Each structure stands twice: as C-alpha cells, then as structure tokens.
Amino acid sequence: AQSVTQLDSQVPVFEEAPVELRCNYSSSVSVYLFWYVQYPNQGLQLLLKYLSGSTLVKGINGFEAEFNKSQTSFHLRKPSVHISDTAEYFCAVSDSVTQGGSEKLVFGKGTKLTVNP
C-alpha cells in the first residue's frame, strides 16, 4: 500500500516569490508520482507526473518537480508565482508494478497556496 504526506497544509507567499510545496511518499514498490492543482470550485487538473527517466519533471504553468528516490520525495517548485497560482495542490502516487495498481491514485491531504500581492 502507498501513502502520501504533504508537509504543509497552507503556504502563503508574495507575488513573484519562489515557492516549494513538499511531498513525501511511502511505498514498498516502485511508484508513479503526480501533482494536481484544484482551483476554487473546480475539478482537478494535472500539473505534471513522473513515470520514469529524468528525475526533474517540468509541467504546465512553469511548475517543476524533482523525484528523489532515496528521500522518497517529490517536491513541487516554481521560481516566481503569480496571483493566479492561488489554488490547492495535491500530490498523488500510484503503484507502478502490480497489475492494475496504476489505476488507483492515493492522494495527499493537499496544500493550499495563497499568493498575496
């Protein structure tokens, strides 16, 4: 079984500042990793995902994340945030080994990013 811990429930930052949203996972097997964003009163949209290969993954809207297998982390970063990045961000993991395992996402509890002017 997998689990995900998002270390900060809320992160306030000023516009144009850098931001890092932290995510750690636990799994006995290899995993796929995802970051989703949820804008107020909307569904979830994929920001980026790590399946294999390069550990630095670039996504939409200038976000990137780095997979660190030894630290079981997948932190999300953006060098300069905008007001429009205000949203809730979810880290998720799925089993990449077991047949059918990749179908089931396990989510963290979310991090609310608030970008202030």
**Binding residues for other proteins (CB under 8 A):** 4, 9, 32, 36, 42-46, 49, 51, 90, 92, 94, 96, 100, 102-110
Q: Do residues 38 and 54 make contact, with C-beta atoms less than 8 angstroms apart?
A: no
Provide the 3-class DSSP secondary structure of residue 95.
strand
Taking the C-alpha atoms of residue 30 and residue 97, their distance in angstroms, rounded to an integer, is 6
Nearer to other proteins, 15 or 107 (CB): 107
Provide the 3-class DSSP secondary structure of residue 87.
strand
- State the minimum distance, in angstroms, from the CB of residue 103 to other proteins: 5
| Beta bridge partner(s), residue 11 | 113
Q: Which residue type sits at 53?
A: G
Nearer to other proteins, 80 or 98 (CB): 98
- State the minimum distance, in angstroms, from the CB of residue 26 to other proteins: 15
Residue with tokens 């630095």: 56
- State the minimum distance, in angstroms, from the CB of residue 90 to other proteins: 6
- State the minimum distance, in angstroms, from the CB of residue 55 to other proteins: 15
Nearer to other proteins, 100 or 117 (CB): 100
